[in-house]
Amino acid sequence: MILLDSLGDVEYVDLSSNKFVGSLDLQAGNSSFVSSIQYLNISHNDLAGELFPHDGMPYFDSLEAREQSVVWITTRSSSRGKLNDYIGIGPKPESACRSHSKYKRCESQASKFILQPAVRPVACQGWTLCHYRPEQQPANSRIQGWGNYVEVIVLSSNALTATFPNLTSQFLRLTSLKISNNSLEGVLPTNLGTYLELKTIDLSINQLSGTLLPSLFNSTKLTDINVSFNKFIGSVPIVASNSENPSLISLDVSHNALSGLLPPGLDKFPYMVNLDLSDNEFEGGLPNDLSDKLEIFDVSNNNLSGLVPKNLWRFNDSSFHPGNPLLVLPKHAETPSEGDSTLNLRSHGPRMKSIIRAALIAGLVCSVSVIALLTFIIYLKAHQRDSEKDDMKGTKENKGLSLSGIECGNETRDHNVPVSTIQNDPSSSSIYVMSSAILLPSKVQDQSKIPSSLKVSSPDKLAGDLHLLDNSLKFTTEELSCAPAEAVGRSCHGTLYKATIGSGQVLAVKWLKEGIVKGKKEFSREAKKLGSIRHPNLVSLLGYYWGPKKHERLLISNYVDVPCLALYLLCKDADADPCKLHPLSLDERLKISVDVSRCLNYLHHESAIPHGNLKSTNVLIDTSNVNALLTDYSLHRLMTSAGTAEQVLNAGALGYRPPEFASTSRPCPSLKSDVYAFGVILLELLTGRSSAEIVPRNSEVLDLTEWVRLLAIQYRSIECFDPFLLGKPSNEGVHTILDSMLQVALRCILSADERPDMKMVFEQLCSIAQ
């Protein structure tokens, strides 16, 4: 363009959006234009050819890049032949912003990028950039000397490709290098970390590969390093003894393929505020002494293991999961919600004396042991008393209450005392362990802490609506009213009665608590849906009763006179325990797990509803063929929000509530929560321990899931298995089955996003059983 030669010592030139042709060049010796020009814009023309072909890019001494005058580069289509890249200097015109289609993203094979001389900073973010090819760069080009003038390089959000430029210039003043959101490839140049004033490096969202440079972490002034969303491999090269960068504030290496152990030198950065190591392949444990100033911390989606150090307990579970299935964040590390009265060891602070901790743990362990011992003794006495009464009564008429003679009232009593005990022996003070619904035919009852009240009233007949959902049932409201009733269990939903109608059929009648069920129309609709579900491993709902009084809401099913899984966990030795239940063998436990998963799979995929109240007391074991039966399914669909919340609270107290419910104001049973609860039941089968048990470890206490996960990550999983399953001789086949079942259980108790569905769980257990 000859026009530029004739302009002389001008300062402002805007020739954009015209039809100038020719090439962009200056005659040799035209130094006045080069030294005086402060603004130059020649975009949107029909120029062609090479950029400044005679003497290379001139050194524009007065050119400055401020907010009003910045460097930008673009091209325009031309019918005159091969397109080349053209440069505009100055603010981007409005016409350019309106029509992005006119701009070409340069895909470079170059090793040099154009950086305008004396331009501080070079700010080209979001704009199209051009390049020189090596053969187009004269040996005496002044580009070689630009390095000492550049302080900030921002080339982010373009379409730059090819390898990372080999920045040979000694950028003595460079403080910030940002080339994020491009398509750069290759490895980092070795001298990248040698620039003395460099404080910020952002190379995120590219295709860079190779290993990270140790020099980056030895720099004395770097405060921010972001190399996320690339393809870097290897470890983070921080050596504890050589770490010389106390100024590092932010480090983001997420979404790469980095691996190995986390470097111990991470704890040498006392001012670190942001540390993101997520979505890599790191292994091992977390460092113990990371900066106390950390505000953002993320190690999710790795393969880390072990216990989370105490100084990181303040971060949410999302900082550690998904991923890291063997990384344990103790539940008591979570910050308690307002009004939560649950014992939390963290509330005592890190300065709690060891003697107090030991006393607390010892007290908890002793309490559990005493309760278990009292349970067995009381049950034995009650069982003996019932046997004596049966012998004395012989075939005398059953004198239990009829269902019509029971109603909820305001008179309260100890909810641990069964109704049948009071009515048969008023002087008795026997106490039974509570469980949910049916435990034993001899009235072992629910551990629910929900107080309930009953009183005896006049034997009026039930005068409401009886709906039978099974054609095989034939009885009337009057027959149900007169049926002798015996309380056999209590749960958060209400009291369970064993009732025998005139035909001799024995029914399980659940008398629901007042105020926890929905209105009649919605209750009836949901009850009919539940009554339509049939499965060999399900105790189906056969009918319901809706009475004129608010407390008269009854659910009817077959009474199954078998023990539940929870009782097998309590009674492990038939010779020493009053329960007289033989310990379950490995084959029996595997069959139970298959049966339960089969039924859950049916509920989830055929009926599209969760069980919602899965726990060992709701798993009945038919001892004749070791067939597992699920009870109390989907009752939350009949409940108000308050009734559902009460059910969830009960599940949490027993150890079956998934961790995601803790951060939800109104948790509701779901398919995912079923999978978690099933994982806990599977752990109960493998360990022979109850889900509510706590296990002391050093100065901490762990629940069942935490304890098993900790042993698994320490490769000591054999210590968590029920000794009865292992036996004296070493059996490799048994260990293989146990390990396989344990892996299924551990997957079930992962975070909600990582849990498998019940179909996958069922198939995995079936393959183990083959």
Give every CB contact of residue 323 below 8 A, 6+ residues apart in sequence.
Answer: 278, 300, 301, 302, 303, 304, 754
Mean pLDDT lowest among 124-133, 358-367, 524-533, 617-626: 124-133
The rounded distance, in Å, linking the Cα atoms of 730 and 391 is: 48
Virtual torsion, Cα 92, 94, 95, 99, nearest 10 deg: 90
Q: Are 90 and 14 in contact (CB under 8 A)?
A: yes
Give the pLDDT confidence score for residue 568 in this predicted structure: 87
CA distance to 187, 336, 568, 674, per residue, from 665 (Å): 48, 13, 35, 19
Interior angle at CA 544, CA 543 and CA 549, nearest 5: 165
Give the pLDDT confidence score for residue 228 in this predicted structure: 94
DSSP per-residue codes, 701-749? EEEHHHHHHHHHHTT-GGGGS-HHHH-SS--HHHHHHHHHHHHHHHHHT
Q: Are 616 and 564 in contact (CB under 8 A)?
A: yes
The per-residue pLDDT for range 241-266, each reduced to its tens digit, is: 544 556 888 999 999 999 988 887 78
DSSP per-residue codes, 378-396? HHHHHHHHHHHHHHHHTTP
The per-residue pLDDT for range 692-747, each reduced to its tens digit, is: 887 776 666 688 998 999 899 888 888 899 988 887 555 678 889 999 999 999 99
Query: Between 320 and 217, whose confidence is greater?
Result: 320
The two tokens of residue 606 are: 């055929």
Give the pLDDT confidence score for residue 738 in this predicted structure: 93
How sure is the predictor about 760, in pLDDT bands with cuts at 50, 70 and 90? very high
Q: Are 74 and 83 in contact (CB under 8 A)?
A: no
Give the pLDDT confidence score for residue 728 in this predicted structure: 54
Query: Do strands 281-284 and 176-178 pair parallel, antiparallel, or not at all (unpaired)?
Result: unpaired
Pick the CATH number of 573-770 from 3.30.2270.10, 3.40.50.720, 1.10.20.10, 1.10.510.10: 1.10.510.10
Locate CATH 1.10.510.10 in the chain. Answer: 573-770
Locate CATH 3.30.200.20 in the chain. Answer: 363-561
Residue at token pair 């970390």: 193
pTM for the model stands at 0.51
* CATH architecture, range 187-335: Alpha-Beta Horseshoe (3.80)
Cα torsion 278, 283, 284, 287: sign: negative
The rounded distance, in Å, linking the Cα atoms of 655 and 703 is: 8
The rounded distance, in Å, linking the Cα atoms of 544 and 511 is: 10
Rounded to the nearest integer, the mean pLDDT of the chain is 72
DSSP per-residue codes, 752-766? TTTPPPHHHHHHHHH
Mean pLDDT lowest among 342-346, 502-506, 662-666: 342-346
The per-residue pLDDT for range 23-55, each reduced to its tens digit, is: 777 665 556 777 777 777 777 777 766 566 665
Query: Between 134 and 279, whose confidence is greater?
Result: 279
Give the pLDDT confidence score for residue 373 in this predicted structure: 67
Give the pLDDT confidence score for residue 359 in this predicted structure: 60
If DSSP codes are grouped into helix, strand and coil, which group holds residue 328?
strand
Locate CATH 3.80.10.10 in the chain. Answer: 187-335
pLDDT at 678 over 80: yes
Burial code (b: 16+ CB inside 10 Å, e: under 16) for 667-691 equals bebebbbbbbbbbbbbbbbbbbbbb
The per-residue pLDDT for range 99-119, each reduced to its tens digit, is: 333 333 333 322 233 333 333
* Cβ count near 156 (within 10 Å): 19
Give the distance between the most distant pair of CA atoms in the chain: 127
For the domain spanning 363-561, the CATH number is 3.30.200.20
Give the pLDDT confidence score for residue 172 in this predicted structure: 72
- Average pLDDT value for residue range 389-395: 43
**Burial tier of 573 (Cβ tally within 10 Å: 0-12, 13-18, 19+):** exposed
Highest mean pLDDT among 119-128, 189-198, 210-219, 682-691: 682-691
The per-residue pLDDT for range 62-95, each reduced to its tens digit, is: 665 433 333 333 333 333 333 333 344 444 444 3
The neighbouring-strand residues paired with 498 are: 486, 508
How sure is the predictor about 57, in pLDDT bands with cuts at 50, 70 and 90? low
Query: Between 243 and 520, whose confidence is greater?
Result: 520
- Omega within 30 of 0 (cis) for the link into 322: yes
